[in-house]
Structure 1
Amino acid sequence: MLETVAWIVLMMLSVAIVLCFIRMIKGPSMFDRIVALDLLGITMIGFVGMIMIIQNTLVYVEVVLVLGILAFVGTIALSKYMEGGVVIDRDSD
């Protein structure tokens, strides 16, 4: 029963990844694309987590951590850049 539900959730996450990718390409504004990229990263974390549940292993824990860090840092950097600020603030005192 759990395996069937896990496969159904995996298919739903696959559809969500495709829809996020379409929104990331087609988005009306750059801010919508940034949000879609962040949502794509979060959905990929869920996808890898479901694969871990189906395979009954902890091998991909590092992959989940790296995806989370990259999604967070990428969203912050792109948002700061689009806001018009400097991504890395360097003081030249």
Structure 2
Amino acid sequence: MTSGEFLSLSVELTLGMVIISVALAFFRLFRGPSLPDRVVALDMMTVAIVAFCGAAAVLYEQVAFLDVGLVLALVGFLATAALARYAERRRLRKEEEKEQP
């Protein structure tokens, strides 16, 4: 087996494992049970899709996939931060409602 064949096989296996991880994260996103679980699942899906873009860039020898992965990582970070802030405010609002008679 040559190094090119080994690299191709490794990247194809990587793409398959990333697809499986996205499917599992989607299941957790759909199933829940709580908002923090869904936020973590969404963040995991973002990270897995960024990994998919990196592996696709190696497999197809296209640097454009790296740009897509970089933009997706930045958007995913902002989305996760916004959802975490929303979850925290929601928790504080519920605690305030419990304290009031």
**Following TM superposition, by how much is the alpha carbon of 1:61 offset from its aligned partner in structure 2, in angstroms?**
2.2
| Residue identity in the other structure for 1:23 | R
**Following TM superposition, by how much is the alpha carbon of 1:76 offset from its aligned partner in structure 2, in angstroms?**
0.4
Match of 2:85 among 77, 80, 84: 80
| Residue identity in the other structure for 1:50 | A
Q: Percent identity?
A: 32
- Equivalent residue for 2:40? 35
- Equivalent residue for 1:51? 56
If you compute each CA radius of gyration, which structure gives the higher value, 1 or 2?
2
What TM-score do you get using the length of structure 1 for normalisation? 0.87
**Following TM superposition, by how much is the alpha carbon of 1:57 offset from its aligned partner in structure 2, in angstroms?**
1.8
Structure with more helix by fraction = 2
Q: Are 2:31 and 1:26 aligned? A: yes
- Equivalent residue for 1:90? none
Unaligned runs of 5+ in 1: 86-93
Instruction: State how many pairs are aligned.
Output: 85
What TM-score do you get using the length of structure 2 for normalisation? 0.80
CA distance in 2, matches of 1:3, 1:61: 18
- DSSP-derived class of the 2:64 partner: coil
- DSSP-derived class of the 1:57 partner: coil
Unaligned runs of 5+ in 2: 1-5, 91-101
**Following TM superposition, by how much is the alpha carbon of 1:62 offset from its aligned partner in structure 2, in angstroms?**
1.9
| Residue identity in the other structure for 2:50 | I
